[in-house]
A and B are shown apart, each in its own frame.
Chain A
Amino acid sequence: MKNRLKVLRAERDWSQADLADRLAVSRQTINSIETGKYDPSLPLALRIGKLFDQPVEVIFTLDGE
């Protein structure tokens, strides 16, 4: 699964730690999601969508889409 998390974070000039604090997860979780090594749970994906005020399917897309 691909995602735009790094781009959205950079647009707001947030560090991984900033985003991790806002989502109440560890910085390692943010890093793993950004590098595509870990796909977040649905609740976390929804929280990410809400934080960036964008639909989840805009932030996360399946490979090949």
Chain B
Amino acid sequence: MSAKSAAKPTPLLAHPLLWTGTWFAAWVGARAVLESTTVPVWARVAAALAPVPLATMALLTTIRGAREMDELERRIQLEALAIAFILALLLIMTLGLMELAITLNRDDWSYRHVWAMLPMFYFGGVVWARKRYS
């Protein structure tokens, strides 16, 4: 957290966690709608696209938050993202190779499930980088 943000609390609607949370809730809702077979096609498409505006708000508030960070916090976030990016590449490339080597169960290893590991890589990177500078 930056000194600026400590002195002036971020308004709730400008907080990235709020929008990330509602984005996730919209994704869960979309999954529930799309798993129903009785929903018309237009509603299925609307449900699939419902998380997009919330993700856009999460992106905009995250960029704004990054601009308000102090220089060490920016360094920590950069290192966390670098770690998460490399680990995400490794995961996807390894899954691609494993798919060629053996038959993977799509219920366990499809993109519907694997994406959830990406935020974990990022938060793991944040913990590692924060520890390095503390």
Q: Enumerate chain A interface residues (CB-CB to B < 8 A).
A: 20-21, 23-26, 28-29, 31-32, 37-38, 40-41, 44
Across chains A and B, the number of contacting residue pairs, with CB separation under 8 Å, is: 40
B interface bracket (residues with beta carbon within 8 Å of A): 10 to 19
Interface check B31, CB cutoff 8 A: no
Given the contacts A21-B3, A24-B3, A24-B4, A29 and B134 also touching, CB distance less than 8 Å: no
CA distance A26 to B133 in the complex (A): 12
Cross-chain contact A28 with B6 (CB below 8 angstroms): no
Between A and B, 13 residue pairs with Cβ closer than 8 Å are: A20-B3, A21-B3, A24-B3, A25-B71, A25-B72, A26-B6, A26-B72, A29-B70, A29-B71, A38-B72, A38-B75, A41-B71, A44-B71
Render B88-130 as a binary contact track against A, CB cut-off 8 A, 1 for contact. 0000000000000000000000000000000000000000001
Cross-chain contact B6 with A32 (CB below 8 angstroms): no
Cross-chain contact B134 with A26 (CB below 8 angstroms): no
Given the contacts A25-B72, A28-B72, A29-B70, A38 and B1 also touching, CB distance less than 8 Å: no
Render B29-47 as a binary contact track against A, CB cut-off 8 A, 1 for contact. 0000000000000000000
Name which residue of chain B comes closest to A37, CB basis: B133
CA distance A29 to B71 in the complex (A): 8
